[in-house]
Structure 1
Amino acid sequence: MQLRGAAGLAVITLSLSGCAPLLPMIHPSPAPSPSSSGPSGKIPVTGQPSAQFCENAGTYLSKFPDLPLYGPHPETQEATGFLSCWYTVDGDPYHPRVTLEALTLKNDDDRAVFTEQCDGGKLGPGTVKIIANWTQDRHWSAWIAAHDSSYSEAILCTPDQIYTASVTYVPGATADDALATIMAAID
């Protein structure tokens, strides 16, 4: 279990550092919205993962008929403070997929690792900072990026949590949907 948590941390670290897997570049999609308010205007209050973290994200993602909905069972946060949900066809990197991850920042060392990412939004080209009252009022930071028409991602940082979502090969999905997936999954 310790190795699994460390592997998850490595995945998040690589994802957040911009070392995401190379995907074919198609053409840029429209710029993401810097004032995104999430699904149906839902704005989280506490910033904590909901008790139905994967299920709530899956409910939001059900609007994409090409995306198989899958969440790990049981939905419990490991002792490492890492949650992960995958919505995809198992093992096929070129089919529609969404990944959603949450990591609890337990101490100052954890927070230091992600400070640059959360404060600077290092998602790579196409990154847009979310400037909205719901982030500023809570001292949260959120970033979205549309890297090309087939791959976008979002990050949301609260004082205690870091959330990431990536959306790949999902027809009609945007970087706003990556952020909306996170927002649907948290309270």
Structure 2
Amino acid sequence: MLVGPPGAGKSTVAAALAARLHLTVRDTDADVERTAGKVISEIFVEDGEPAFRALERTAVATALVEHHGVLALGGGAVLDPATRRDLVRYRSDGGTVVFLDVSLAHAAPRVGFNQSRPLLLGNPRAQWQALMEARRPVYEAVASLRVSTDGLRAGAVAEIVENQLAAATTDTSGTTDRRSGE
């Protein structure tokens, strides 16, 4: 499972990691859009952030039950207390949560700070910085692993994650449980 701020590359890295591990990929933002029948920015404008967060909470809870591959969570999903409890339970059951970390300098070109990111309207750089300052402790608290994506392409990040997963899950017999990449 991948968590992190906008611009960290969660969706792209999830697809690359799933390909490397021969698993399926799922993105809770895509699940929310499919359920709502509209893009996230429209949900924010037409229905408000609380409606989006409720859809997001349901998408994460559903994916944790149904999906057994690589899962990318929306950047703010970890702010929900029930989601945090679910992530702690997921980790205690043997799952791995990877915090994809990124600096503002590297997130900016990826995100583009455009209108499709409703929480970054106004002064997007300042908004992203404030958002990250508030969320960093939460990302760190729920994560089993942290990987910086600064200056790296998705494939390189996926390789780092795969290597860290292998190192973390190799038992004394030398075998690796590939399911921990879920």
- For the criterion TM > 0.5, the same-fold answer is no
Q: TM-score, normalised by structure 2?
A: 0.28
Q: TM-score, normalised by structure 1?
A: 0.27
Point out the structure with the larger helix share. Answer: 2
